[in-house]
């Protein structure tokens, strides 16, 4: 028996009011299949989706089947986002190396484009992960009214309300303030590492000489340790001439 989603309330009114900000260069760019004009535009949309979900996708992290289906119109952008969230890369990079609370925080930021509303929302969605698994949790987010009203079926999720008039620096990007791994796994992996030297190494700058300075040749001569050839001390009386000459 699955329990219903626990109730939680937003802690800030910024997510509940309409955005009246004047668009600037720092405003998020919206990528949607509604304004795709060329195959290169579709490739840009796919790359943006990878950056939104994975932050960075290597060649081995890409999903060629999902990309082909999206280019062919067989699936929507929402289905493509769902495939990335259920991929092996997202599971191994975010779910298996974090607690459920941390996993919920990452996924809400990437899918809904906002921060979680405190610990109550983490607990509510963690209960969904516990009862319905990752697929059920992802479907709940993608089927939510918040996701459909903001992104729909054809728009790649983005960081909403990133620049706030009430703050001097705005909201920092999620990938900067929310590392991929929790503190426990960062310590387990051994980073960040601080290397301290027990002794301070002194720095001796290289000597510079003027042209024609004999000190330059003196240092070069002192750095060479030649060894002369030693003469063999063999008496002519000890040489066997018959054995030394070849037989004919």
Return the domain boundaries, the chain: 38-189
Distances (CA, A) of 216 to 37, 85, 213, 220, 221: 69, 67, 6, 6, 9
Contact 182, 102 (CB under 8 A): yes
Strands, E, within 82-182: which ranges? none
CATH number of 38-189: 1.10.3130.20
Q: Residue 108, exposed/middle/buried by CB under 10 A (0-12, 13-18, 19+)?
A: buried
Whether the per-residue pLDDT at 240 is higher than 90: the answer is no
- Give which of 113, 142, 141 is closest to 31, Cα–Cα: 113
Q: Residue 109, exposed/middle/buried by CB under 10 A (0-12, 13-18, 19+)?
A: buried
pTM of the complete model: 0.66
Torsion region of 167: left, alpha or beta (phi above 0 gives left; psi -120 to 50 gives alpha)? beta
Contact 126, 6 (CB under 8 A): no
% residues pLDDT > 70 (the chain): 62
* pLDDT at res. 90: 92
* pLDDT at res. 143: 94
Token digits of residue 124: 């509510």
Mean pLDDT of the chain: 78
> What is the mean pLDDT of the segment spanning 100-104?
91
Token digits of residue 30: 């919206």
> What is the mean pLDDT of the segment spanning 4-15?
65
Name the maximum alpha-carbon separation found in the chain: 114
- pLDDT confidence of 117, banded at 50, 70, 90? confident
Distances (CA, A) of 70 to 31, 38, 43, 135, 228: 14, 14, 10, 20, 79
* Residue 223 φ then ψ, to 5°: -75, -15
Token digits of residue 195: 């290397």
Contact 110, 116 (CB under 8 A): no
C-alpha angle 238-241-243 in degrees, rounded to nearest 5: 105
């Amino acid at each position: 028996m699955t329990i219903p989603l626990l109730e939680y309330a937003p802690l800030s009114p910024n997510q509940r009011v309409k955005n009246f900000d004047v668009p600037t260069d720092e405003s998020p760019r919206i990528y949607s299949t509604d304004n795709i004009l060329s195959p290169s535009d579709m490739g840009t949309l796919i790359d943006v989706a990878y950056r939104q979900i994975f932050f960075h996708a290597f060649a081995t992290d890409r999903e060629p089947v999902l990309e082909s289906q999206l280019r062919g119109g067989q699936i929507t952008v929402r289905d493509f986002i769902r495939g990335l969230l259920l991929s092996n890369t997202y599971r191994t990079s975010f779910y298996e190396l974090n607690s459920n609370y941390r996993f919920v925080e990452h996924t809400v930021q990437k899918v809904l484009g906002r921060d979680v509303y405190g610990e109550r929302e983490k607990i509510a969605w963690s209960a969904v992960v516990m009862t319905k698994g990752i697929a059920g949790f992802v479907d709940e987010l993608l089927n939510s009214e918040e996701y459909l009203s903001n992104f729909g079926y054809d728009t790649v999720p983005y960081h909403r309300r990133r620049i706030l008039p009430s703050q001097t620096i705005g909201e920092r990007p999620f990938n900067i303030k929310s590392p991929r791994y929790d503190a426990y796994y960062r310590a387990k992996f051994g980073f960040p590492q601080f290397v301290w030297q027990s002794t301070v190494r002194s720095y001796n700058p290289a000597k510079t000489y003027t042209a024609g300075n004999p000190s330059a040749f003196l240092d070069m001569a002192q750095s060479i340790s030649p060894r002369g050839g030693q003469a063999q001390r063999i008496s002519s009386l000890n040489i066997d001439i018959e054995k030394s000459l070849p037989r004919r």
